[in-house]
Chains A and B, each alone.
Chain A
Amino acid sequence: MNFKKGIKFLKLTAVFTLLIFWFSGCVSQKPKEKLILLTTTSTYDSGLLDYLLPDFEKKFKIKVQVISVGTGQALEMGKNGDGDVLLVHSPKDEEKFMKEKHGIKRRWVMYNDFIIVGPKNDPAGIRGDGAKNAFKKISEKQTLFISRGDDSGTHKKELSIWKDISRNDAWYIEAGKGMGDTLMIASEKKGYTLADRGTFVSLKSKLDLEILVEGDKILLNPYGVIAVNPDKNPKINYSAAAKFIDWIMSKEGQTLIANFKKSGEQLFKPLYGKSIRD
């Protein structure tokens, strides 16, 4: 009898605890102005946003919700109005996005550069080459190449370098994943890949890869910030998006970007609104 009572008591306690914990989250969610930032995995995975955003959030009392996906998906979500501001890196698509009136207020924020990385013994012999030449050699020697294959800014850049170089073969693999995962795969399989410097530097210690090609002009990687056109949907928070853009383009924002370092290396260089496309 007593045992039964004990069990009943335990059950009641369990249910009670559950109820408390159920509603606990609801109370703490104060209505605060929020800004949805659609961005690419490279800005997020490198840690840049975790470093930048607290300053902005404190100053304007706006909570930034970061959704990090590929540039392709970010732009598509922007078209659907599922976000307020974009931070992406694919100038051609950004221009198209602007032309189709999906966005307003676009600025050149910063840039980093792409690099071609590969195994230390460099089986295709591309070390120190130009990007285009390096890809040609990889194609001729048919050495393993891992492509992002996810319609991201990096993937688009890669395709623009390949252009008409043939690569329809088993040595060319599409990972369909983010930069971190793709680098991991390249490292495991001893293949080449095109990476943004930021992600590579932050993962360097975990990879068995080396920078083989860098500094080529075609490898520059500019990031743009775009406010989603508020005409798309009344719920789009344009005023917060504009504040964010003004802030990240201000001296304060740009200096913060310049000061962001990982393993002692500067990952992004501020552009102060200057275009680097020729």
Chain B
Amino acid sequence: MNSEILFITFLSLKISLTAVFIASIMSIFLASIISFKNFYGKKLIVNLIHTFMGLPPVVVGLVLYLILSRNGFLGGLDLLYTPTAMIIAQVILALPIITGISINVIERVEKAIKETIISLGATTLQGYIKIIKEARHGIMIAIVTGFGRTISEVGAIIIVGGNIKFHTRTLTTAIVSETSKGEFKFALTLGVILILISFFVNYALTVFSASEEK
């Protein structure tokens, strides 16, 4: 039982952190392009991103299942029921959240300091880097929010992961199956672990960004 809890906990962390890491890099890149460039359809894209912030996880799970199914478009990759499939699902869920919040932050910072930067004679690229550096706090909040989404998510990963013991069972999917088995105590224990992890990771991320202050 104990080795199982340990495995489940580590897998949960591994999947969510990897997903958030990948989503963050993509998001910062995307958010910068969208914030700094003016192009046709920009408003629509921002609107779409905001809509996707509330993407229903089960729908993501179902669509991803159909794509990754051996019969599906990407069936040849043999990714169904693997942690990789779960990471993909969570990247899809976290990406709009982190991008959406980051766009807001970057645009606000840009408005505030753009004039100053130009007047100091920075090149465009230097300006961009400066703005993102200034916006890092807000971006960190975006990442923390994304992590909150991934660590607590169950609908998508239970479909594409299959909740296989010692392979794709995470804290959230285990809570679902243990509850339906009537093992409330075990499910509750996992729930407490989930909340503790959430707390510590958030705390670590906040400290991490706060220490950059000075």
A residues adjacent to B (C-beta < 8 A): 4, 7, 11, 14, 18, 21-22, 24-25, 36, 41, 44-45, 65-68, 77, 80-82, 177-181, 184, 202-203, 206, 232-233, 235-236
Asked if residues B182 and A21 are in contact (CB atoms below 8 Å), the reply is no
Q: Given that A65-B81, A67-B81 are contacting pairs, would A80 and B69 also be in contact in the complex, using a CB cutoff of 8 Å?
A: yes
Complex: A77 Cα to B62 Cα, angstroms: 12
**A contacts with B: majority SS:** helix
Q: Given that A11-B211, A65-B164 are contacting pairs, would A45 and B181 also be in contact in the complex, using a CB cutoff of 8 Å?
A: yes
Asked if residues B181 and A65 are in contact (CB atoms below 8 Å), the reply is no
Asked if residues A82 and B70 are in contact (CB atoms below 8 Å), the reply is yes
Complex: A44 Cα to B164 Cα, angstroms: 11
Q: Does B116 contact A (CB under 8 A)?
A: no
Asked if residues A65 and B162 are in contact (CB atoms below 8 Å), the reply is yes
Q: Which residues of A contact B208 (CB under 8 A)?
A: 11, 14
Interface string of B157-191 (1 = CB under 8 A from A): 00000111101000000000101111010000000
Complex: A103 Cα to B18 Cα, angstroms: 38
Closest chain A residue to B66 by CB distance? Answer: A80
Asked if residues A22 and B14 are in contact (CB atoms below 8 Å), the reply is yes
- Closest 6 interchain pairs by CB? A180-B180, A67-B162, A81-B70, A203-B182, A80-B71, A65-B164
Complex: A24 Cα to B17 Cα, angstroms: 14
The residue that B70 contacts in the complex, of A24, A45, A184, A233, with Cβ under 8 A, is A233
Q: Which residues of A contact B182 (CB under 8 A)?
A: 45, 180, 184, 202-203, 206
Complex: A236 Cα to B80 Cα, angstroms: 13
Q: Does B11 contact A (CB under 8 A)?
A: yes
Asked if residues B14 and A7 are in contact (CB atoms below 8 Å), the reply is no
Q: What distance in Å separates the Cβ of A70 from its nearest Cβ neighbour in chain B?
A: 12
Complex: A17 Cα to B72 Cα, angstroms: 38
Complex: A178 Cα to B18 Cα, angstroms: 31
- A77-B69, A82-B81, A178-B180 known; 9 other A-B pairs, CB under 8 Å? A18-B17, A21-B14, A25-B11, A45-B180, A66-B164, A80-B71, A81-B70, A180-B179, A233-B70
Interface string of B17-45 (1 = CB under 8 A from A): 11000000000000000000000000000
Complex: A188 Cα to B150 Cα, angstroms: 32
Q: Which residues of A contact B11 (CB under 8 A)?
A: 25
Asked if residues A82 and B14 are in contact (CB atoms below 8 Å), the reply is no
Closest chain B residue to A25 by CB distance? Answer: B14
**Count of interface residues, chain B, beta-carbon cutoff 8 Å:** 30
Total A-B pairs in contact (CB under 8 Å)? 75
Asked if residues B14 and A235 are in contact (CB atoms below 8 Å), the reply is no
Complex: A68 Cα to B173 Cα, angstroms: 12
Asked if residues A80 and B162 are in contact (CB atoms below 8 Å), the reply is no
Q: Which residues of B contact A202 (CB under 8 A)?
A: 181-182
Q: What distance in Å separates the Cβ of B187 from its nearest Cβ neighbour in chain A?
A: 11
Asked if residues B70 and A235 are in contact (CB atoms below 8 Å), the reply is yes
The residue that B18 contacts in the complex, of A22, A80, A232, with Cβ under 8 A, is A22
Q: What distance in Å separates the Cβ of A117 from its nearest Cβ neighbour in chain B?
A: 14
Closest chain A residue to B15 by CB distance? Answer: A25
Q: Does B10 contact A (CB under 8 A)?
A: yes
Q: What distance in Å separates the Cβ of A200 from its nearest Cβ neighbour in chain B?
A: 10
Interface centre among A68, A82, A232 (most CB of B within 10 A): A82
Complex: A232 Cα to B75 Cα, angstroms: 12
Complex: A24 Cα to B83 Cα, angstroms: 14
Asked if residues B204 and A14 are in contact (CB atoms below 8 Å), the reply is yes
Q: What distance in Å separates the Cβ of B171 from its nearest Cβ neighbour in chain A?
A: 15
The residue that A41 contacts in the complex, of B78, B179, B180, with Cβ under 8 A, is B180
The residue that B179 contacts in the complex, of A24, A36, A181, with Cβ under 8 A, is A181
Asked if residues A67 and B163 are in contact (CB atoms below 8 Å), the reply is yes
Q: Which residues of B contact A81 (CB under 8 A)?
A: 69-71, 75
Q: Given that A11-B208, A25-B10 are contacting pairs, would A181 and B81 also be in contact in the complex, using a CB cutoff of 8 Å?
A: no
Complex: A67 Cα to B71 Cα, angstroms: 18
Asked if residues A36 and B70 are in contact (CB atoms below 8 Å), the reply is no
Asked if residues A7 and B162 are in contact (CB atoms below 8 Å), the reply is no
Complex: A178 Cα to B94 Cα, angstroms: 29
Asked if residues A36 and B180 are in contact (CB atoms below 8 Å), the reply is no
The residue that A68 contacts in the complex, of B14, B163, B204, B214, with Cβ under 8 A, is B163
